[in-house]
Amino acid sequence: MATTVEFLGAAGTVTGSKFLVESDGRKLLVDCGLYQGLKELRLRNWERLPVDPASVDWVVLTHGHIDHTGYLPRFIKDGFRGRVFATRATADLLKLLLPDSGHLQEEEAAYHNKRGTSKHKPALPLYTAEEGRGAADLVTGAAYRERLALGPGVGITFKRAGHILGSAAVTVDVATGTETRRIVFSGDIGRYGAPILPDPMPIEEAEYVVVESTYGDRRHDPEPIPQQLERVISDAVKRGGAIIVPAFAIGRTQELMYHLSGLEKAGRIPRLPAYLDSPMAIGATEIYCAHPEDFEGDMRRMVMDRNCPLHCGDFRLARSPDESRAINEIKGPVVIISASGMVTGGRVLHHLRLRLPDARTTVFLVGYQAMGTRGRLLQNGASSVRIFGEDIPVRARVETIHGLSAHADADGLIRWLRTAARPPKRVFLVHGDPEPAKSLAERIKTELGWEATVPKYRDRAQID
Ligand SMILES: [Zn+2]
């Protein structure tokens, strides 16, 4: 019997990851992500999937990011009754992330209802915070490197991917008759040699690899991150304004905290008031410190000794909206780390509305900015951005640190692919805009001599 993989998301784009493995009538969905960014993609969240959720047996999640998990509550709402697996840390992070995603959906619906800007009356959320919570409760946490038998002839193994806490590549084994096929899904691959999380684990055996290509055409800035931070922060301090970091709550926030504390302790930047203004980032940082299995070496020892390696104690935490608003009163240099990373929502909008018109402000972008997001507009030098229905002039300086990305660059992805024990029959490139995906496919063909293709939405590949 044939085994197939159908690309139901993150095909030719970076969000909405969903890959359906079908074999002998059994169905396994790898990742269940939400589309984010461009409106035409976000509208796809509202279309019925080409597969009936009730017919799917299992969902496996590579990591917590919403573009890999945020469709799960809707999938359940639409009839999925199977089991859901992720690593233990991912299962914990989802208890924060999925209710938050539902909350954002509810806010958006309320906004449209108030303004009458939706053709649906009333506009409804894709799912609610409560449904997000219900979905998170269904996720079973699993250990790294332990093979889980999901059902007859179907097994999965999680291997650390070094992208964010809990992130994993998933090895899927499917037996048909006497034959077994092995497909490795990369999820998102982190950087080699990054602090906090260890390097991605090797692929080992794989007949097919489905790999992300977010930065498939880029090489991260070779200038070491502490040096880049030192330069930008010293300059911002001289200009005397606030440093606003729209941060991804999970991963980059912790890495940034780690670097900033290190630079302060080494006396390379002045001690500045620093605020972590995101309940999600604060909660996620606490989860980091509860999962020693995600670390190695000194980091693991410090986590096990309850000696917070992220130096959380040095940051002022703004949990309540009042604490957040109080930051507005601070004149002079201050570091404000606040979600969301692509400036699509969250408390950072308030800080930017207030401080973007001030030429002393520095906005510090720390990761991939998807097309259609305010983050991308700022990165491209927009003279104004729309926030809460107002055009806010941008006089602030906008800086980007690419190397702090939670994603490997093209060299890193090639390095990860080389950890396969032997050349796979084919590599599929997903989770990338068309150019980076094509560029990485070319490198795989020329440098590794492997078959590589970029599937389109709803393509179905034979696994033989
Ligand atoms: Zn991710």
How close is the Cα of 367 to the center of ligand 1, in Å?
A: 11
Instruction: Give me 142's structure tokens.
Output: 């699993």
How close is the Cα of 90 to the center of ligand 1, in Å?
A: 11
* 459 has pLDDT over 90: yes
Burial track 35-60 (b if 16+ CB lie within 10 A, e otherwise): bbbeeebbebbeeebebebeebbbbb
Task: Identify the bridge partners of residue 22 per DSSP, sorted by sequence position.
Answer: 4, 27
Tally Cβ neighbours within 10 Å of residue 297: 8
* 79 has pLDDT over 90: yes
How close is the Cα of 379 to the center of ligand 1, in Å?
A: 20
* 310 has pLDDT over 70: no
- Cα–Cα nearest to 334, from 357, 310, 362: 362
How close is the Cα of 271 to the center of ligand 1, in Å?
A: 31
Q: Is the pTM of this model over 0.75?
A: yes
Host H or E run for residue 302: helix 297-304
Cβ pair 17, 68 in contact under 8 A? yes
Instruction: Give me 430's structure tokens.
Output: 């997903």
Q: Is the dihedral of CA 41, 47, 50, 53 positive or negative?
A: positive
∠ CA(27), CA(39), CA(112), 5° rounding? 105
**Mean pLDDT of all residues in the chain?**
92
Q: Which whole number is the average pLDDT over 167-176?
A: 95
- Cα–Cα nearest to 311, from 276, 267, 346: 276
How close is the Cα of 190 to the center of ligand 1, in Å?
A: 9
Q: Which amino acid is at 173?
A: D
Tally Cβ neighbours within 10 Å of residue 358: 14
How close is the Cα of 168 to the center of ligand 1, in Å?
A: 10
* 251 has pLDDT over 70: yes
Instruction: Give me 216's structure tokens.
Output: 């498939």
Cβ pair 154, 24 in contact under 8 A? no
How close is the Cα of 2 to the center of ligand 1, in Å?
A: 30
How close is the Cα of 13 to the center of ligand 1, in Å?
A: 13
Collapsing DSSP to helix, strand or coil, 110 comes out as helix
How close is the Cα of 420 to the center of ligand 1, in Å?
A: 22
Report the pLDDT value the prediction gives residue 177, as an integer from 0 to 100: 78
How close is the Cα of 454 to the center of ligand 1, in Å?
A: 19
How close is the Cα of 73 to the center of ligand 1, in Å?
A: 18
* 212 has pLDDT over 80: yes
Q: Which whole number is the average pLDDT over 314-323?
A: 86
Tally Cβ neighbours within 10 Å of residue 347: 22
How close is the Cα of 111 to the center of ligand 1, in Å?
A: 28
How close is the Cα of 66 to the center of ligand 1, in Å?
A: 8
Number of H helices, E strands in the chain: 14, 22
Which of the four pLDDT bands, split at 50, 70 and 90, describes residue 312? low
Which of the four pLDDT bands, split at 50, 70 and 90, describes residue 313? low
- Cα–Cα nearest to 189, from 166, 157, 162, 220: 162
How close is the Cα of 208 to the center of ligand 1, in Å?
A: 21
User: Helix/strand/coil (H, E, C) string of 400-426?
Assistant: ECCCCCCCCCHHHHHHHHCCECCCCCE
How close is the Cα of 69 to the center of ligand 1, in Å?
A: 10
Tally Cβ neighbours within 10 Å of residue 415: 15
How close is the Cα of 285 to the center of ligand 1, in Å?
A: 16
How close is the Cα of 63 to the center of ligand 1, in Å?
A: 7
Contacts of 12 (CB under 8 A, 6+ apart): 432, 433, 434, 437, 454, 456, 457
How close is the Cα of 175 to the center of ligand 1, in Å?
A: 29
* 339 has pLDDT over 90: no
How close is the Cα of 398 to the center of ligand 1, in Å?
A: 24
Strand segments (E) across 123-213: 139-142, 148-151, 154-160, 168-176, 179-185, 208-212
Side-chain-facing half-sphere of 290: CA atoms under 13 Å: 11
How close is the Cα of 94 to the center of ligand 1, in Å?
A: 13
25-29, 108-112, 149-153, 244-248: the lowest-pLDDT one: 108-112
How close is the Cα of 163 to the center of ligand 1, in Å?
A: 7
How close is the Cα of 338 to the center of ligand 1, in Å?
A: 18
How close is the Cα of 95 to the center of ligand 1, in Å?
A: 16
Residues in the chain: 464
How close is the Cα of 333 to the center of ligand 1, in Å?
A: 31
How close is the Cα of 251 to the center of ligand 1, in Å?
A: 9
The DSSP secondary structure of 241-283, one letter per residue, reads: -EEEEE--TTTHHHHHHHHHHHHHHTTSS----EEE--HHHHH
* 253 has pLDDT over 90: no
Distance, CA of 6 to CA of 48 (rounded, Å): 15
Q: Which whole number is the average pLDDT over 234-239?
A: 93
Which of the four pLDDT bands, split at 50, 70 and 90, describes residue 249? confident
pLDDT in tens, 8-65: 999 988 899 999 999 989 999 999 999 987 788 888 999 999 999 999 999 999 999 9
| Distance from chain centroid for Cα 59 | 18
Tally Cβ neighbours within 10 Å of residue 226: 17
* 418 has pLDDT over 70: yes
How close is the Cα of 81 to the center of ligand 1, in Å?
A: 25
Residues of the chain with pLDDT > 70: what percent? 98
Distance, CA of 261 to CA of 310 (rounded, Å): 8
Cβ pair 106, 129 in contact under 8 A? yes
How close is the Cα of 18 to the center of ligand 1, in Å?
A: 13
How close is the Cα of 115 to the center of ligand 1, in Å?
A: 33
How close is the Cα of 96 to the center of ligand 1, in Å?
A: 15
Report the pLDDT value the prediction gives residue 115, as an integer from 0 to 100: 82
How close is the Cα of 188 to the center of ligand 1, in Å?
A: 5
pLDDT in tens, 110-145: 888 888 877 777 889 999 999 999 999 999 999 999
Instruction: Give me 254's structure tokens.
Output: 């912790």
Which of 203-212, 228-237, 266-275 is the most confident on average? Answer: 203-212
Residues of the chain with pLDDT > 90: what percent? 69
